[in-house]
């Protein structure tokens, strides 16, 4: 049985509905279901919803709805949320593992006692759940990465990680939407934009989506990159980029 949700104040305009204390797929599904349920209700006074690994932050206007009133409403709908009925979108994201674009791939292979090809196979053979989008605009936390290639974050972060770099740390993988510092191990790069401030919504991925990485050659990567690939170039599952 799932533990009961906790209703926690975060200042006087935010309620945090917390479902657990771990990174867990079932907890994430409960968060996603509540996010979908509250969005559908269009409750008066709700100004924003922010889903995370294990909680949903609900921003509200206290002049329209009180903390107690909001808690009462949510407590009534939580037992009936169709957790198993919610389905996110499926994405197949092209990933180039060329060594020129994957500065940490060789080191990851050595640390895991695997060949480079085996690391690529392990990374690209699983379907990942989008646990949350955060840290940077459009930055997806994807899990669960197989333990065979799970490594701690780098002891010394890189000052510059190129935009669209695919990286791993612990049991997570992610894609850096913009160039920035970062402490994850970079093992590939995608030609896709994961964040476009001119699009609606600006982030390509959302919590609850499912992602697979489809290996592509350097030639295919360069072809995509020349087109400045956006969301319209995301591949359906099971197809290769040709």
CATH at 169: 2.40.100.10
What angle separates helix 67-77 from helix 25-41, to the nearest 10 degrees? 110
Indicate whether 212 and 145 sit together in one domain. Answer: yes
Indicate whether 112 and 49 sit together in one domain. Answer: no
Indicate whether 98 and 30 sit together in one domain. Answer: no
- 25, 60, 85 — which closes off a domain? 85
Give how far Cα 123 sits from Cα of 35, 65, 95, Å: 29, 46, 10
Indicate whether 22 and 140 sit together in one domain. Answer: no
Indicate whether 72 and 190 sit together in one domain. Answer: no
Specify the pTM. Answer: 0.89
- 53, 85, 117 — which closes off a domain? 85
* Number of domains into which the chain is organized: 2
Indicate whether 210 and 97 sit together in one domain. Answer: yes
CATH at 12: 3.30.1360.40
Within-domain flag for 239: no
For the segment 83-95, the average pLDDT, to the nearest whole number, is 86
Fill in the DSSP letter of residue 126: S
Indicate whether 143 and 227 sit together in one domain. Answer: yes
Indicate whether 98 and 45 sit together in one domain. Answer: no
116/171 Cα distance (integer angstroms):
18
pLDDT per residue as tens digits for the range 211-226 = 999 999 999 999 988 7
At 1 the pLDDT is 63
Cross-strand pairs, 14: 59
Indicate whether 224 and 105 sit together in one domain. Answer: yes
Indicate whether 71 and 145 sit together in one domain. Answer: no
- 70, 85, 100 — which closes off a domain? 85
Please give the radius of gyration of the chain, using alpha carbons only, rounded to the nearest integer: 19
At 2 the pLDDT is 75
Domain of 40? 6-85
* Furthest-apart CA atoms within the chain: distance in Å: 60
Closest CA to 211 of 178, 236, 242: 236
172/144 Cα distance (integer angstroms):
6
Indicate whether 211 and 125 sit together in one domain. Answer: yes
Indicate whether 115 and 16 sit together in one domain. Answer: no
pLDDT per residue as tens digits for the range 37-77 = 999 999 999 999 999 999 999 999 999 999 999 999 999 99
At 27 the pLDDT is 94
pLDDT per residue as tens digits for the range 9-19 = 999 999 999 99
Within-domain flag for 173: yes
Within-domain flag for 242: no
Give percent above pLDDT 90 in the chain.
85
């Amino acid at each position: 049985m799932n533990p009961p949700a906790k209703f926690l104040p975060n200042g006087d305009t935010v309620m945090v509905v917390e479902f657990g204390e771990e990174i867990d797929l079932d907890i994430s599904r409960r968060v996603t279901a509540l996010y979908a349920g509250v969005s559908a209700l269009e409750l008066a006074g709700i100004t924003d919803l922010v889903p995370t690994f294990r909680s949903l932050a609900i921003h509200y206007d206290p002049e329209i709805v009180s903390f107690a009133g909001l808690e009462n409403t949510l407590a009534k709908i939580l037992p009936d949320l169709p957790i198993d009925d919610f389905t996110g979108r499926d994405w197949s994201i092209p990933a180039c593992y060329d060594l020129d674009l994957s500065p940490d791939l060789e080191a990851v292979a050595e640390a895991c006692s695997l060949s480079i090809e085996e690391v690529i196979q392990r990374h690209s053979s699983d379907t990942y759940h989008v646990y949350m989008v955060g840290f940077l605009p459009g930055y997806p936390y994807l899990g669960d990465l197989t333990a065979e290639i799970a490594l701690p974050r780098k002891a010394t972060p890189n000052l510059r990680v190129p935009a669209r770099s695919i990286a791993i740390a612990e049991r997570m993988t992610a894609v850096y939407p913009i160039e920035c510092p970062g402490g994850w191990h970079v093992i590939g790069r995608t030609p896709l934009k994961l964040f476009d401030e001119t699009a609606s919504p600006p982030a390509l991925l959302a919590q609850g989506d499912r992602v697979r990485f489809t290996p592509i050659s350097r030639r295919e990567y360069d072809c995509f990159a020349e087109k400045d690939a956006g969301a319209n170039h995301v591949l359906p599952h099971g197809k290769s980029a040709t």
